[in-house]
Chain A
């Protein structure tokens, strides 16, 4: 079976998800992971489908969604690659402060520098307030205090605040 990555972006209105998932269902595709949100009021959805339909037929079936010109749909076949398991610990990184260019790139560079992997990211701008929340996997052998110091130094330079806290999952 083949995996496809499908994105739908553009002007929000009621019924986009209903319409797009109905089309995918009619092609016999299963929805696997998906995420949808509004980014500055715009509809933004990414999903992975699984099934036999090929890229061209999925694109053709979804074409009516974008026909009015206010939604962009893309369809890409995903290669079958296995994730390599890495031993990591989960963290939440929060950064907030006055908006200025370079906050995200400077902060996440500190994560990348130690081989940390961002697994989820949200940034929001509201008025002057810029906010970043990232879920970060850090390799088990990383010195977390050193990462925190590097993040704080970067944040100070940008005039923002950064907090790195362990993800607490309660096993039930």
Chain B
């Protein structure tokens, strides 16, 4: 399939017209990570700045393919994604930010091991749809866009939307043996 949304592919953080700042990433058990994020006005200058900050912070974080507002301490529904460099990616939309996003359709569940910058010491096996239709709004213009995503981009979108709803991958793990320490303790 190559069912990508050309508007989203064409989107870049330059459209925001503000310089992104680097923010600190908060880690579990920070309360904000478990709170349901608030809907936002995507044209609000504060949200536009947050969008730019998320992209900037995502870019300097090694291996980071997505960052949600709660991860920088803001309990709102905004996240950035860019899976273009990841080996598990099939189709993708490059770098983009969505506000108030939700999964509209999903199918083809697959299990895979996920990590998260906010849970640095663990990974977990999580079943997620490998095809999704996500609806959200672009920051700045507030345009409503639909993103049809597959494979790793679909997984990343669901992971970020979960953050905006107050869920971590820890809430989705498949069972008691589905959590794996990243480090050993000496």
Contacts and interface: CB of A to CB of B under 8 A. Distances in A.
Interface of A: 38, 40-41, 92, 94, 96-99, 120-122, 124, 126-131, 133-135, 159-161, 163, 165, 167-168, 170
A124 B122 contact: yes
B179 A133 contact: yes
Interface stretch (B86-94, B136-144, B167-175): B167-175
Contacts, number: 71
Nearest to B171: A163
Given A96-B171, A122-B177, A133-B175, 12 more contacts: A41-B186, A92-B174, A92-B176, A94-B173, A120-B175, A120-B177, A124-B122, A124-B181, A126-B183, A133-B179, A168-B109, A170-B109
Interface string B145-186: 000000000000000000000111011111111110101111
Given A96-B168, A97-B34, A163-B171, A135 B121 contact: no
Interface of chain A, helix or strand or loop or mixed?
Answer: strand
A160 B33 CA distance: 11
B179 A41 contact: no
Query: Which 3 A-B pairs give the minimum distances between C-beta atoms?
Result: A120-B176, A126-B121, A98-B29
Contacts of A133: 170, 173, 175-176, 178-179
18 contacts: A38-B184, A92-B174, A96-B170, A98-B29, A120-B176, A122-B176, A124-B122, A126-B181, A129-B121, A131-B122, A133-B170, A133-B175, A133-B179, A161-B171, A163-B167, A165-B172, A167-B175, A168-B109
Contact of A41 (B171, B178, B184): B184
A124 B166 CA distance: 21
B9 interface: no
A99 B183 CA distance: 18
A122 B141 CA distance: 46
B59 interface: no
A146 B122 CA distance: 31
Interface string B100-124: 0000000001000000000101100
Contacts of A41: 184-186
Contact of B121 (A38, A94, A127, A168): A127
